Chain A
């Protein structure tokens, strides 16, 4: 168990809908990262937050947004969902830059 908690484990929704993925980092970790994993793209970095503020942005679509709350948990919001958004979404946390600890992921299926 990495100590990073993600909910829900599975999410099935329809195109055009909006969903929210939730992540609780390891105790003491200030950084939260979101990654998308699909079969043809591997692990793609989406966005990083550090102590409530956005630190780095990767290949995140404008339809996607995230935030980190004062208690350090984070949410990833995906809107106007398309079939191609179906993927595993991972959250990871770290004390500082470097070694990341990953949650078990949320499997998103857009039908």
Chain B
């Protein structure tokens, strides 16, 4: 069945280090992927997206990498800051279908 999963449920990094959050997806027909950030008490916030015709996309301090061969998605956060502490969700859209969310990874940034 369709599923989007995260390799690590929790990730702890030192402030200033780079963070890498990984995600595996199972639907090879998915053509659109999004990373969301959810802080405590708030709704998911869009971070960055990528379409299946790309393998890398950069934003401000964030980079998303897509490896369609192994159906893997990653979010890289450069120079991680305390404000980056949150739960990060990857989500996929199988060809115009509804957005399917993974379980989430909690990122904790140590000062």
Contacts and interface: CB of A to CB of B under 8 A. Distances in A.
Given A45-B98, A45-B100, 18 more contacts: A2-B43, A35-B101, A42-B102, A42-B103, A42-B104, A43-B44, A45-B99, A58-B98, A97-B93, A98-B32, A98-B49, A98-B93, A100-B46, A102-B36, A102-B43, A102-B45, A103-B43, A104-B42
Most buried by A among B36, B43, B89, B96: B43
A43 B104 CA distance: 9
B27 to A, nearest CB: 14
Interface in A17-46: 33, 35, 42-43, 45
Interface string B23-42: 00000000010101000011
A48 interface: yes
A90 B93 contact: no
B46 A43 contact: no
13 contacts: A4-B43, A33-B98, A42-B89, A48-B98, A90-B44, A92-B44, A97-B93, A98-B99, A100-B34, A100-B44, A101-B46, A105-B42, A105-B43
Q: How large is the interface on A (under 10, 10 to 19, 20 to 34, 35 or more residues)?
A: 20 to 34
Among the interface residues B32, B45, B98, B102, which one has the most CB atoms of the partner chain A within 10 A? B98
A46 to B, nearest CB: 10
Interface string B70-111: 000000000000000000010001001111111110000000
